Structure 1
Amino acid sequence: MSDQDRLYEKTISSQTIYDGRIIKVKVDEVLLPNGKTAKREIVNHQGAVAVLPLTPDGKMVAVRQFRKPLERTIVEIPAGKLEPGEEPLTCAKRELEEETGYQAASYELLSSFYTSPGFADELMHVYVATGLTKGESRPDEDEFVEVLELTLEEAKELHRTGEICDAKTVAALFAWENRVLHERG
């Protein structure tokens, strides 16, 4: 018997308690490996992308915006949710241009990861975008952002002070720093 089989939780029942525009929340009753049952609260999400845009002069393009769940403004890389059936790269291109006005000549998938697998199935795809050209941003009508260009040191300082605090941006920041260190030899 494999580890996956020994640890598997079989779903006995599932009830959707919220079905919104961005997420669906359900409560599953599961049969545990020891024969007991438990409830699991699960957030279903279509998936998302984020973009680490790097300018020709070595800066990261980021956005500052208010995040209601945190009740404060933070700095993060451009990101957005996938539309049903949308390819992640298509979404990355759309989100970069909508939020920042930038277009990129090249995209490279940096990583794909689950944002919080303890309760959500959201899969985040993070791209590095290079060969940037500046244009006019077109945020969604309910999205208010300030576009920033940050050096690696400025971004690290914003992380130190807590202005950069979301997982995707922190992961991208460390990947960027690693890339710079690797390029320097």
Structure 2
Amino acid sequence: MLDDPDDRHLLETRVASETLCEGSFLKGRRDTVRMPDGSTSTREYIIHPGAVVIIPLLDDGRVLLERQFRYPVGRVMTEFPAGKLEPGEDPLHCAQRELLEETGYTAGQWAHAGALHLAIAYSTEIIHIFFARDLRAGRRHLDADEFLDVCILSDEDFSAACRQGRVTDAKTLSCALWLQNVRSGAWGLDWRPA
């Protein structure tokens, strides 16, 4: 039932569309849609260019995370390294770039785990999930307006931070599920050299 090949009875069709705002990064839209029963409704949503998140695995079994102030929520957040895709950019290239820029690390092996839609009710954002291992430390290349700390946690400390509500970032919590299942062997990864 989860992958019903005939979902036509659930589909909404765009009838009209207008731009509400257009920034350098995000765009706001309002669409009029025809509902499955023939009535119409409106949908307001954000167009996002897409992003990546990286789960960096250190050789000693710990994971690499970041702490940075996130203006919309007004607090310092703990999260896995991540970043937005440039137009036409390959997600793996973006993941490699973001890991180096934000943490200074490069990885000898990468695995694409999957994707997640962060806020399906109001955003087109899709985040590509990558694992990285065989990490080598180097120099960070932060953007001029980027201020963050790199932190290293054991799986136990990371899991406790999630459970205790000290990690509330949705992409990082989703990655915690991936990490738990990969570590247990329940979910396999296709590792490839960098």
* TM-score past 0.5 threshold: yes
Aligned partner of 2:25 among 13, 22, 45: 22
Matches within 5 A, 1:35-54: 35-54=38-57
2:97 pairs with 1:97:
no
2:154 pairs with 1:129:
no
Secondary structure, in 3 states, of the residue corresponding to 2:179? Answer: helix
TM-score (norm 2): 0.89
Q: Which amino acid aligns with 2:163?
A: R
Matches within 5 A, 1:85-164: 85-164=88-167
- Shift in Å at residue 83 of structure 1? 0.2
Task: Count the aligned residue pairs.
Answer: 182
- Shift in Å at residue 3 of structure 1? 3.7
Q: Which amino acid aligns with 1:46?
A: P
Matches within 5 A, 1:46-65: 46-65=49-68
Distance 1:182 1:143, change over 3 A: same
Secondary structure, in 3 states, of the residue corresponding to 2:73? Answer: coil
Q: Distance in 2 between matches of 1:166 and 1:50?
A: 12
Q: Distance in 2 between matches of 1:140 and 1:162?
A: 29
Moved more, 80-89 or 107-116: 107-116
TM-score (norm 1): 0.94
Moved more, 172-181 or 8-17: 172-181
Q: Distance in 2 between matches of 1:112 and 1:159?
A: 20
Partner of 2:176: 173
Q: Distance in 1 between matches of 2:156 and 2:57?
A: 14
Please list the CA deviations of residues 22-79 of structure 1 after superposition, one character each: whole Å capped at 9, or x if unmatched. 2111000111111211110011111000000001111110000011111111110000
- Shift in Å at residue 163 of structure 1? 2.3
Gaps of 5+ in 1: none
2:77 pairs with 1:81:
no
Partner of 1:7: 10
- Shift in Å at residue 175 of structure 1? 1.7
Q: Distance in 2 between matches of 1:181 and 1:85?
A: 35
Q: Which runs of 4+ in 1 moved over 3 A?
A: none
Secondary structure, in 3 states, of the residue corresponding to 2:173? Answer: helix
Gaps of 5+ in 2: 187-194
Q: Distance in 1 between matches of 2:95 and 2:29?
A: 28
Q: Percent identity?
A: 38
